[in-house]
Amino acid sequence: MIIRNVRILGGEPVDIRVENGLIAAVTPAGAQPPAADDQVVEGQGAVALPGLVDLHTHLREPGREDAETVQTGTQSAARGGYTAVHAMANTSPVADTAGVVEQVWRLGHEFGHCDVHPVGAVTVGLEGRQLAELGAMADSAARVRVFSDDGKCVDDAVLMRRALEYVKAFDGVVAQHAQEPRLTGGAQMNEGEVSGRLGLTGWPAVAEEAIIARDCLLAAHVGSRLHVCHVSTAGSVEILRWAKSKGWDVTAEVTPHHLLLTDDLVEESPVGAYNPIYKVNPPLRTRADVEALREALADGTIDVVATDHAPHPVEDKETEWSAAAMGMVGLETALSVVQEAMVETGLLDWAGVADRMSAAPARIGRLSGQGQPLQVGSPANIVLYDPSVRTEVDPSAFASKSRNTPYEGMTLPGRVVATFLRGKPTVLEGKLV
């Protein structure tokens, strides 16, 4: 197969030849005419990036197949340019045993439109009382390297310490959902001016920052790897900057929505006040937080953009604010939101986007076949992206089973034209193959 006229990381136009799932040649556009039996994909000057890797996806299977399945979630991922996702453990049953992670891994093999890497729970049933079988999950066919109780915080410092110690044996990482539970009891949105005006229980920044600070210290103390999920405050960025300056093995992610949206949308938005489409954990914060997160992603203090794709059926979202489920879908809009927040603002170039959305998450998840630069010998995991168009977000076109996007009706830049998983197209001309 030959992919003609694409610009790797936005550079000069080239043709990419793919053989046996690998990149076999990269030549100046038009230099090598295709052979008669070549399958030709016209890139039309699209930007070519390594296939995106998500460290934080909720695929909902097993247990909530009404919200998403491995099949629909990975179709959604492919449409967003992803070639690998990490499937969070808060399923039903919880992915806290070798049996459940192997079940998810097999579903990925059978129905996946991208690679599926199950995340293992840190504690049994996400209950925060007893360590799950981390070693058995690491040794299973799923070869789990990322462990998280996401949705819940491992708030017991002793358990967190033991988890960090345990994963060292197989080069694993603990991904923490940093939320001090007692400081966020009944919390509905960011604690600040807007929550005060609306009379909603606030979710203070310190509830996130206190856990991040503690976990950085614990990780340093035991010499282990810590990853911080969905960082949302300027104070968290300062703590991470300090921890990294010490040389500690701490990484962090930010979601697309925390790079673009702010808490005043709860009070006033194109879809009205108190619209639960904006209800998310951690909550949308202030403009100052958004600015700090963008800067941190640009300078590498935050390593990764992760979607926290959290599908919910209509009945769980379209209800009163206090009863609504927390979370947003994100796989099919992530690259466009990152272009809007980071590329259009001059904070990241396409090489930076490739690092934050492909290379860095693959490195943190210890995925050897993903996140590689687009050069001869690399697996042909490729996304072709046209950054020159602007289109209105239309959730009815999503491959995801759920439609809870905060961007409905918004105009965002860019469009995923094609996605290739080891040379096999999963999306062509914007459509699933």
Given the residues 96, 263, 308, 316, select the one marked as catalytic: 308
Question: Minimum Å distance from CB 262 to Zn ion?
Answer: 19
For the record, the structure tokens of 134 come out as 């981390």
| Residue 304 vs 393, nearer CB to Zn ion | 304
Q: Taking the CA of residue 283 as centre, how many other CA atoms within 13 Å lie in the half-sphere pointing to its CB? A: 27
* Whole-angstrom distance, CA of residue 296 vs CA of residue 239: 11
Query: How many residues make contact with Zn ion (CB under 5 A)?
Result: 2
Question: Minimum Å distance from CB 361 to Zn ion?
Answer: 16
Question: Minimum Å distance from CB 316 to Zn ion?
Answer: 17
Question: Minimum Å distance from CB 9 to Zn ion?
Answer: 30
Question: Minimum Å distance from CB 281 to Zn ion?
Answer: 6
| Residue 177 vs 422, nearer CB to Zn ion | 177
Stretch near Zn ion under the rule CB under 5 A, chosen from 1-9, 147-155, 325-333, 350-358: 147-155
Is residue 227 part of the contact set for Zn ion (CB under 5 A)?
A: no
Is residue 150 part of the contact set for Zn ion (CB under 5 A)?
A: yes
Q: Report helix, strand and coil shares of the chain as percent, to nearest 5.
A: 35, 25, 40
* Whole-angstrom distance, CA of residue 401 vs CA of residue 424: 24
Q: Taking the CA of residue 103 as centre, how many other CA atoms within 13 Å lie in the half-sphere pointing to its CB? A: 18
| Residue 229 vs 427, nearer CB to Zn ion | 229
Give the bridge partners for 4, in sequence order. 42
Residue ranges in 114-133 that form contacts with Zn ion under rule CB under 5 A? none
| Residue 61 vs 150, nearer CB to Zn ion | 150
Q: What 3-state class would DSSP assign to 32? A: coil
| Residue 207 vs 416, nearer CB to Zn ion | 207
| Residue 15 vs 316, nearer CB to Zn ion | 316
Q: Quick count: other Cβ atoms within 10 Å of Cβ 143?
A: 15
Is residue 332 part of the contact set for Zn ion (CB under 5 A)?
A: no
Q: What 3-state class would DSSP assign to 12? A: coil
For the record, the structure tokens of 342 come out as 């980071």
Give the bridge partners for 87, in sequence order. 57, 118
263 flagged as catalytic: no
Q: Per-residue b/e over 214-246, b at no fewer than 16 CB within 10 Å? A: bbbebbbebebbbbbbbbbbbbbbbbbeebbee
Q: Which of 113, 177, 294, 317 binds Zn ion (CB under 5 A)?
A: 177
Question: Minimum Å distance from CB 418 to Zn ion?
Answer: 31
* Whole-angstrom distance, CA of residue 352 vs CA of residue 408: 27
Residues labelled as active-site residues: 308
Give the binding site for Zn ion (CB under 5 A): 150, 177
